[in-house]
Structures are given as structure tokens and as C-alpha cells.
């Protein structure tokens, strides 16, 4: 095994304390002798949720030698609320200890710069590897095997049960429901995400009529179907004769499913069950193309549009031709308007079509924005929102109004739009006619969608595990304005030239895959665009000189890096290859004496 720099791991500290430990506060000393994987995550981040799923196999296979610790490091103010972290750990079925670090103390100690980041600590307490982004589970699994062998030989490996203690299960008909639609018979169909099922509720929104799905994760069609954290639902318009009545965004299965209400049978309409990666096809026969965390669906402009949260895009599914394709977005994360192929989104999570069919409203959660797409031209515009790091609860003119990570949009009878302002625990309203934002209701708990019913609005209160019916008020609620920026501190950089280095080391036993050209890619841009005088754009080198423009004192550097590595053994006829990728949004402040180099670790050690 190759020698590595020996860096002593800092202690794990978080003001929120520990979850999933039976009330015990853990220290690194408690974990000595085990291979420790720290997962720096925050529950708003779709890439973090992907990594949780990637780690499940490693966690199970090496349960007696490996301890995974989630270090919850919030972006949004709501994510610093301990109760919200408790809910998220339950919602996403996190089966390892979690340290709640609302003040980012441990994040700073480990010099983390991005969500998600994985840090590997050996049984003697030394940091030996760091990985940012997705796609690293195979590399960590290989490293774990090497560490097991090395430390078993040294006598420093301690096997046995880990510190995880499962919380008490909570009973209830719904568990973290996602979205709902009203059926023609007056009932509600609810995506019961936490139970991996769909539930039909009676007109009162409470009595269970039937369940579709047995409650276990899976991708199973037919009369006994299975789902995995379904979210969005869309009724099929009358007269299409498709053989199913509802389209479901089956989020963690990376698939669209069709449900026939007459008998509850389910068919997979799009997706393979595998997550889409850079370089995979972006169009073709629907069941042969990978998708990535579809979060909502809506019939718009003749097709089913998909909020593809996992790759920051909108896709479309043609139910007649049985094909899918990218409809808008570049996979870059941010807020950029314009023609559909050039627009940027950030984890789009809610869709709704205007009554006249001319606009597709989009809840763009990570930019805390309300966006819309024009029918026909598919131009993308922003109604409310400014970018990745500004959020809050502020009513008034749309240009200065603020949301906090909205997940749902609902068109109201008067043509305005209700926004499920999830992390503000509120239902907000945007009026396109006046350009004003107001608050319809507060004291909801993580609302994620809503349905209009006879002049009322039925809200999916995801973290209260229920549907709540409200009267649409004639006058809005007065809410004292609150504005926030991310808790993550800006990086101070010096004026002039800034050296950007993305650090990448191929996993043990692998090499960069250069059979068909460069195996790495680096894309750099900024908000505002004028922050960079030069250095923006795409290239294959993972290092670049950026020149900061004079007179611009702060902004965000958007850095997207990708590297492909394959087995480095000529004897292997079909080498296994893996893609490593991460997007960074790095807030920077230009100050004399600031840093002249910005290192970002994709995989390896700085």
C-alpha cells in the first residue's frame, strides 16, 4: 500500500449534538481502531442524497470495520434547526451516527469547501483521503479493503458492532409525503415518500382508501409494485388513451412510472433504474435512457416535463413516441435565464402549468427562485430569486422578494401562483399581474406541494406527515421581512491573478482513461459574469489561471470538474471505469493580502 501523508484528524464538534447514537456523544477516541468515513452533507443538497445512497452498500458490507459519520453542515438557516435535522435523518433513512454541526465548526476544521465531501480516517486517527462530489464509493471501497489488510496486520484494526443506535419508529398513515393530486372521484393520490408508496385518501384527506406499493424500496412493476421515495404526480389528460392515469416521478429509482387507477397496476415509462452521469445519452427510447432524481412532472406543451433535480435540468417525455430528451438547462447549477439550451437551474423540484397553458412554473429550490418556461419558444425567465446564496422571507416587489428553498408551485384560480416555501414553513403567493409577492399562510411544516379544491388549498405538510386544508385568504398575512445569506464564509482572495487547482488522484489500481482523448474537464464561470476578466470557459486541464476584474469586490466562482478513471491492468479485457464529478459554488471576497491560489479537492489529498 502506497505511503500517505499523515495528518491527525481534528475532533468532531457540533453544537447540535449527536443523532442515532442512543444519546451518547462520540469522540474520535471512541472510534479508534475503526475505519472512519466522514460524510459532510446538508439535507437540501441532491448530490448529498445521492451519496447517501452510494454509501449504503459500503456501510452494509463493512459494518464490522467501517463507521460512517454524517456531519450535517447547513447551507440554509432552516437546516441549522436541530428538529429539521432530526426529520431529515429519518426522512432519508440515514442508518449511521450523525453530528449536527449548525455553526460549521467541524466543516472548517476539515477545510471542507463543498457539499458533499467525504473524508477517510484510518484506524490510528489520521486523515488519509478526501473526495468531493459523487461517484467515489468504488474508490473508498477499494481504500477500505487496503486499510483492513494493513491494520489487521499491524494489530490496529478493531472489529465489532458500530455505535449506531436506531431511533424509535414513528407510526402513521403518511411518512414525509411529497406531493399530491386530486383524482376525478374527489379523492387524493399522495406520494407517500417515506413509505415508498402511493396512498389514495378519501375526500377528507385523512381516511386511507388504498395503498399502491408494499412499503419496501424497489423498482417493481405490475400488480404488486414497488417505488423508492416517489415525489411528483401528474394526472394524464383525458383522451390520450395511454393505458395509465397518473405519471409518477419515482425519485430514488431515477424513473418515471405510470399508474392505472382501475387496478393499481404500475408500468415503468422512462429510466433504467440507474442514475444519469456526464457522458450518458440525453435522448432516446425512454426506458433505455438513465435519469437523475426526477422530482416533479407536469403535462406541458404536448409532453410530460420533468423537474430533473439531480442534474439541474428540465427534461421532457413524449408519452406517445415513448422517448425522452433534455428540454432546458446545461447541468451547470445556478440561475441563468435565456434560451432553453443555455439556461441554468439549481435543483428544480416543483412544476405547475398556467391555466392558459402558456407558462410552466418552476420551483428552483437551490436558488430559492420561482422561474418559468414559455410555451413554444421555451425561453426561461425568473420571476423571483437572485442566486444560490441569497434567501429569506421577504414580501413585496418580486425584484427584492425572497423565498427559502421552495419545493412546490400551484396555480391559483385568479392566475397567480402559490409557492410552497418549504424552509420558511409558509405558503407564499406571486401575482404576475402586479409583480408582488405576499404570504398566504405560515406555521406550516416543510410544505412541499399543494392542490386547489373548491376555493380552498390543500397543502402537503411533509414534516407533519399530513394534508392540511386552508381557506385561501382574501388578504395576505403580514410577515416581518428576513433576509439571509449562506452561513458558509466567503473565501478571501487577492486582486489580480488567482491560480485554480482541482486536485485529483485516480483510485488505487486505476488510471485516467485517455483512450478517446482527455479524461478530465474543467468548466469555470462566475456570478456576476464580470467577476472574471479572463479564465472562464471549458478546458481539459484541471489547473487554470483566473484573472479577477478590477472594481468587482465579491461574487461566486462556479467550478465544475470531471475525471474518468479505469482499471490499470492490461490483463483485464473489459476494465471497469468510473466518473468522478463535482460542482463548486465558491463565494469569494476580493481583499488585499487574500489568497492567490484556490485548491479544490476532487479526490485525493491536497
Q: Is residue 445 part of a domain?
A: no
pLDDT tens sequence across 559-572? 988 888 887 777 77
Residue 436 covered by a domain: no
- pLDDT tens-place string over residues 115-151: 999 999 999 999 999 999 998 999 999 999 999 999 9
pLDDT digits (tens, 9 = 90+) for 154-203: 999 999 999 999 998 888 999 999 999 999 999 999 999 999 999 999 99
State how far Cα 387 lies from the chain centre: 16
Choice between 465 and 481, residue whose per-residue pLDDT is larger: 465
Q: Which has more confidence, 476 or 45?
A: 45
Which distant-in-sequence residues (6+ apart) come within 8 Å of 44 by Cβ?
Answer: 75, 76, 79, 347, 365, 366, 405, 423
Give the total number of structural domains in the chain: 2
The residue behind cell 492490461 is 570
Domain boundary among 169, 190, 210: 169
Q: Is residue 491 part of a domain?
A: yes
pLDDT computed for residue 327 by the predictor: 98
Domain boundary among 109, 134, 169: 169
Using the 8-state DSSP alphabet, how is residue 572 labeled? -
Dihedral class, residue 432 (left if φ above 0, else alpha if ψ from -120 to 50, else beta): alpha
Q: What region does 288 belong to: left with phi over 0, alpha with psi -120 to 50, or beta?
A: alpha
User: What is the reported pLDDT for 579?
Assistant: 79
Label residues 35-45 b or e (16+ Cβ within 10 Å = b).
bbbbbbbbbbb
pLDDT at 98 over 60: yes
Task: Tell me the chain's radius of gyration from C-alpha atoms.
Answer: 24
At 511, the pLDDT band (50, 70, 90 cuts) reads confident
Q: What is the 3-state secondary structure (H, E, C) of 203-214?
A: CCCCCEEEEECC
The dihedral built from the CA positions of residue 389, 395, 398 and 404, taken in this order, carries a sign that is positive
Q: How confident is the model at residue 1 (pLDDT cuts 50, 70, 90)?
A: very low
Q: Which residue has the higher pLDDT, 153 or 586?
A: 153
> 433-447, pLDDT tens digit by residue?
999 999 999 999 999
Position 2 scores a pLDDT of 41
Sign of the CA dihedral with 463 first, then 466, 467, and 472 last: negative
Q: Is 305 a domain residue?
A: no
Pairing of strands 390-393, 35-41: unpaired
Answer yes or no: is pLDDT of 32 > 60: yes
At 475 the pLDDT is 65
Contact at 8 Å (CB) between 366 and 346? yes
What is the rounded average pLDDT of the residues 530-538? Answer: 92
The separation between the first and the last C-alpha atoms of the chain, rounded to the nearest angstrom, is 19
- What's the CATH code of the domain at 23? 3.40.30.10
Q: What is the pLDDT of residue 337?
A: 97
Q: What is the pLDDT of residue 560?
A: 85
- Rounded to the nearest angstrom, the gap between the alpha carbon of residue 499 and the centroid of all alpha carbons in its chain is 29
- Calculate the average pLDDT of the chain: 93
**Domain for residue 548, yes or no?**
yes
- The whole-number pLDDT of residue 542 equals 93
At 516 the pLDDT is: 55
Mean pLDDT of 333-357: 97
Q: Can you tell me the mean pLDDT for 201-224?
A: 97
Does the residue 285 lie in any domain? no
Contact at 8 Å (CB) between 100 and 73? no
Distance separating alpha carbons of residues 601 and 542, to the nearest angstrom: 11
Q: How confident is the model at residue 485 (pLDDT cuts 50, 70, 90)?
A: low
Q: What does the pLDDT average to over 310-326?
A: 97
Rounded Cα–Cα distance for residues 13 and 465 (Å): 31
- Higher-confidence position of 44 and 579: 44
Whether residue 169 contacts residue 186, with contact meaning beta carbons closer than 8 Å, is answered with: no
Residue 464: its pLDDT value, please?
97
Residue 350's pLDDT is: 98
Cβ-proximal residues to 217 (8 Å cutoff; 6+ apart), any chain: 196, 226, 227, 228, 229, 252
* pLDDT surpasses 70 at 487: no
Query: What value does the mean pLDDT take over residues 529-537?
Result: 93
Is the pLDDT at 453 greater than 50? The verdict is yes
What distance in Å separates the CA atoms of residue 470 and residue 472, rounded to the nearest whole number? 6
Cβ-proximal residues to 509 (8 Å cutoff; 6+ apart), any chain:
142, 567, 568, 569
> Mean of the pLDDT values across residues 358-370?
98
What is the rounded CA–CA span in Å between residue 306 and residue 312?
A: 11
The answer to whether 35 and 67 are in contact (CB under 8 A) is yes
pLDDT of residue 569: 78
Long-range contacts from 111-114, C-beta under 8 angstroms, 24+ separation:
111/606, 112/40, 112/73, 113/491, 113/584, 113/586, 113/600, 113/601, 114/582, 114/583, 114/584, 114/600
Q: Tell me, yes or no, whether 516 lies in a domain.
A: yes
Give percent of the chain with pLDDT exceeding 70: 96
| E-strand stretches of 568-596 | 577-590
Band (pLDDT 50/70/90 cuts) for residue 472 is confident
Neighbours of 432 (CB within 10 A): 15
pLDDT greater than 80 at residue 517: no
Q: Please state the pTM of the whole predicted model.
A: 0.87
Q: Which long-range contacts (CB under 8 A, 24 or more apart) does 537-543 make?
A: 542/501, 542/502, 542/503, 542/504, 542/602, 543/499, 543/500, 543/501, 543/502
Q: Which of 137, 153, 169 is the last residue of a domain?
A: 169
Q: Which domain holds residue 133?
A: 1-169
Helix axes 137-154, 46-61, angle to 10 degrees: 40
CB neighbours (10 Å) of residue 50? Answer: 21
Summarised one tens digit per residue, pLDDT across range 375-403 is 999 999 999 999 888 899 999 999 999 99
Does 426 map to a domain? no
Please state the three-class secondary structure of 438-465 as a single string.
EEEECCCCCEEEEEEECCEEEEEEHHHC
Please state which of the ranges 321-330, 349-358, 481-490 shows the lowest mean pLDDT.
Answer: 481-490
pLDDT band at 508 (very low <50, low <70, confident <90, very high): confident
Amino acid at each position: 500500500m502506497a505511503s500517505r501523508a499523515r495528518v491527525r484528524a481534528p475532533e468532531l464538534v457540533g453544537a447540535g449534538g449527536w443523532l442515532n447514537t442512543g444519546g451518547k456523544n462520540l469522540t474520535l477516541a471512541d472510534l479508534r481502531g475503526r475505519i472512519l468515513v466522514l460524510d459532510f452533507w446538508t439535507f437540501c443538497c441532491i448530490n448529498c442524497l445521492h451519496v447517501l445512497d452510494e454509501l449504503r452498500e459500503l456501510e452494509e458490507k463493512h459494518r464490522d470495520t467501517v463507521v460512517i459519520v454524517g456531519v450535517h453542515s447547513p447551507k440554509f438557516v432552516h437546516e441549522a434547526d436541530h428538529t429539521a435535522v432530526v426529520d431529515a435523518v429519518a426522512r432519508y433513512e440515514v442508518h449511521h451516527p450523525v453530528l449536527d454541526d449548525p455553526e460549521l465548526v467541524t466543516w472548517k476544521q476539515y477545510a471542507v469547501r463543498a457539499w458533499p465531501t467525504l473524508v477517510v480516517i484510518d484506524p490510528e486517527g489520521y486523515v488519509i483521503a478526501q473526495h468531493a462530489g459523487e461517484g467515489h464509493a468504488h474508490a473508498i471501497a477499494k481504500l477500505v479493503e487496503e486499510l483492513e489488510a494493513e491494520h489487521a496486520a499491524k494489530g490496529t484494526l478493531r472489529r465489532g458492532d458500530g455505535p449506531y443506535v436506531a431511533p424509535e419508529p414513528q407510526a402513521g398513515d403518511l411518512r414525509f409525503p411529497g406531493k399530491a393530486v386530486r383524482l376525478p372521484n374527489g379523492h387524493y393520490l399522495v406520494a407517500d415518500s417515506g413509505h415508498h408508496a402511493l396512498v389514495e385518501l378519501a375526500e377528507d384527506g385523512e381516511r386511507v382508501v388504498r395503498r399502491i406499493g408494499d412499503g419496501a424500496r424497489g423498482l417493481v412493476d405490475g400488480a404488486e409494485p414497488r417505488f423508492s421515495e416517489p415525489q411528483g404526480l401528474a394526472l394524464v389528460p383525458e383522451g390520450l388513451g395511454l393505458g395509465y392515469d397518473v405519471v409518477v416521478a419515482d425519485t430514488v429509482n431515477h424513473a418515471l412510472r405510470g399508474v392505472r387507477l382501475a387496478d393499481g397496476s404500475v408500468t415503468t415509462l422512462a429510466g433504467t433504474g440507474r442514475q444519469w452521469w456526464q457522458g450518458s445519452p440525453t435522448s432516446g427510447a425512454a426506458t433505455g435512457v438513465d435519469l437523475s432524481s426526477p422530482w416533479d412532472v407536469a403535462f406541458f406543451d404536448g409532453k410530460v416535463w420533468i423537474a430533473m433535480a439531480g442534474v439541474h435540468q428540465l427534461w421532457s417525455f413524449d408519452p406517445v413516441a415513448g422517448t425522452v430528451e433534455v428540454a432546458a438547462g446545461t447541468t451547470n447549477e445556478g440561475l441563468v435565464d435565456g434560451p432553453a439550451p443555455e439556461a441554468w437551474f439549481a435543483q428544480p423540484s416543483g412544476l405547475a402549468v398556467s391555466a392558459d397553458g402558456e407558462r410552466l412554473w418552476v420551483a428552483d429550490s437551490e436558488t430559492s427562485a420561482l422561474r418559468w418556461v414559455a410555451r413554444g419558444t421555451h425561453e426561461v425567465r425568473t420571476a423571483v430569486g437572485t442566486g444560490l446564496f441569497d434567501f429569506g422571507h421577504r414580501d413585496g416587489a418580486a425584484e427584492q422578494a425572497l423565498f427559502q428553498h421552495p419545493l412546490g408551485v400551484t396555480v391559483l384560480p385568479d392566475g397567480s401562483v402559490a409557492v410552497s416555501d418549504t424552509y420558511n414553513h409558509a405558503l407564499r403567493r406571486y401575482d404576475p399581474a402586479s409583480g408582488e409577492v405576499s404570504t398566504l399562510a405560515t406555521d406550516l411544516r416543510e410544505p412541499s406541494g399543494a392542490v386547489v379544491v373548491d376555493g380552498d388549498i390543500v397543502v402537503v405538510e411533509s414534516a407533519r406527515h399530513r394534508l392540511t386544508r386552508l381557506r385561501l385568504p382574501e388578504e395576505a398575512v403580514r410577515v416581518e421581512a428576513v433576509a439571509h445569506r449562506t452561513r458558509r464564509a466567503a473565501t478571501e482572495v487577492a486582486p489580480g491573478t488567482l491560480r485554480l487547482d482541482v486536485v485529483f488522484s485516480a483510485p488505487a489500481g486505476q488510471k485516467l482513461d485517455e483512450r478517446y482523448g482527455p479524461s478530465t474537464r474543467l468548466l469555470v464561470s462566475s456570478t456576476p459574469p464580470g467577476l472574471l476578466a479572463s479564465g472562464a470557459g471549458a478546458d481539459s486541464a484541471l489547473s487554470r489561471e483566473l484573472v479577477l476584474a478590477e472594481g468587482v469586490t465579491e461574487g461566486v466562482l462556479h467550478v465544475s470538474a470531471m475525471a474518468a478513471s479505469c482499471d490499470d491492468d492490461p490483463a483485464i479485457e473489459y476494465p471497469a471505469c468510473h466518473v468522478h464529478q463535482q460542482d463548486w459554488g465558491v463565494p469569494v471576497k476580493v481583499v488585499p493580502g487574500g489568497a492567490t491560489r484556490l485548491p479544490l479537492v476532487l479526490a485525493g489529498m491536497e
